[in-house]
């Protein structure tokens, strides 16, 4: 068969496959907004700063025990309704190589960082196939499984369907600039950091006291 035709067929198939995922049936997309936390502020005040390796980025779930979407509509005595809906989250598991700051002493050799939002396309492939979710860049990490990262983390909470607030570790700012890979930093994507090693050295200088108290 003509190889150009086959190449063209593959091209069309690829475009169609992505279009089906992006535009196709029964999906949701969530966009998460964050405050801008400058790198200098993260270095100066993040309770936990670690270098490590991404072990796992979990698929997204909604914030209840079985991970499915929920919606709560309550009507009061006056007929006034209040509505609450599910929030998506996913988790990044890091193997900690080194703690550069550990103000609250909550460090272990493995950290699970909870991120509000739907996460990376790769991590969500299974969910998309199940009629699940897709993502936007806002809650997407600048790191993938197996990559060496630096992470700026703090103790936080995640609201659960039953109204409780679950204690979790959260990124200090938008995930894309908070859990970042060596390659990402070395590409110059963080304008205030010349390289990964320079960034680590910057943190070491700024947070020597926090590290020394471990």
Is the Cβ of residue 45 or residue 211 nearer to another protein in the bound state?
Answer: 45
Site for another protein contains 201 (CB under 8 A): no
Site for another protein contains 188 (CB under 8 A): no
- CA-closest candidate to residue 88, choices 39, 158, 9, 175: 158
Site for another protein contains 22 (CB under 8 A): yes
Site string for another protein, 64-83 (x = CB under 8 A): ----------------xxxx
Identify the residue among 34, 67, 125, 206 touching another protein (CB under 8 A): 34
Q: Rounded to an integer, what distance in angstroms lies between the CA atom of residue 56 and that of residue 65?
A: 20
- Specify the stretch interacting with another protein by CB under 8 A; choose among 8-16, 50-58, 95-103, 122-130: 8-16
Is the Cβ of residue 183 or residue 201 nearer to another protein in the bound state?
Answer: 183
**Structure tokens belonging to residue 72:** 């709560």
Is the Cβ of residue 61 or residue 154 nearer to another protein in the bound state?
Answer: 154
Least distance CB 64 / another protein (angstroms): 13
Q: What is the CA radius of gyration of the chain?
A: 20
Q: Which region, left, alpha or beta, applies to residue 119 given φ > 0 means left and ψ of -120 to 50 means alpha? A: left
Q: What is the 3-state secondary structure (H, E, C) of 102-142?
A: ECCCCCCCEEEEEEECCCCHHHHHHHHHCCCEECCHHHCCE
**Structure tokens belonging to residue 184:** 């990402």
Least distance CB 88 / another protein (angstroms): 8
Least distance CB 72 / another protein (angstroms): 9
Site for another protein contains 45 (CB under 8 A): no
Q: How far is CA 78 from CA 71, 75, 82, in A?
A: 21, 8, 12
Site string for another protein, 80-99 (x = CB under 8 A): xxxxxxxxx-----------
Q: What b/e readout covers 142-167, taking b as 16+ CB neighbours within 10 angstroms?
A: bbeeebebbbbbbebebeebeeeeee
Q: Please report, as ranges, the residues that interact with another protein according to CB under 8 A.
A: 1, 3, 6-19, 22-36, 80-88, 114, 116-117, 136-138, 154, 156-159, 163, 165, 168, 170, 173-174, 176
């Amino acid at each position: 068969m003509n190889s150009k035709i086959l190449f063209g067929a593959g091209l069309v198939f690829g475009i169609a496959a992505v279009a089906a995922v992006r535009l196709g049936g029964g999906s949701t997309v969530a966009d998460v907004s964050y405050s801008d936390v400058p790198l200098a502020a993260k270095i100066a005040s993040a309770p936990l700063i670690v270098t490590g390796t991404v072990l796992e980025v979990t698929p997204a779930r909604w914030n209840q025990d079985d991970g499915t979407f929920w919606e709560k509509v309550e009507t009061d005595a006056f007929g006034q309704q209040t509505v609450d809906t599910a929030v998506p989250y996913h988790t990044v598991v890091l193997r900690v190589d080194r703690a550069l700051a550990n103000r609250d002493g909550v460090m272990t050799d493995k950290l699970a960082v909870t991120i509000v939002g739907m996460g990376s396309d790769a991590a969500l492939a299974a969910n998309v196939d199940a009629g699940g979710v897709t993502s936007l860049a806002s809650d997407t990490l600048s790191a993938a499984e197996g990559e060496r990262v630096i992470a700026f983390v703090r103790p936080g909470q995640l609201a659960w369907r039953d109204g409780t607030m679950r204690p979790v570790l959260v990124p200090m700012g938008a995930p894309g600039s908070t859990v970042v890979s060596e390659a990402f930093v070395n590409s110059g994507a963080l304008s205030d950091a010349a390289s990964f090693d320079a960034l680590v050295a910057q943190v070491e200088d700024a947070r020597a006291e926090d590290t020394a108290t471990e």
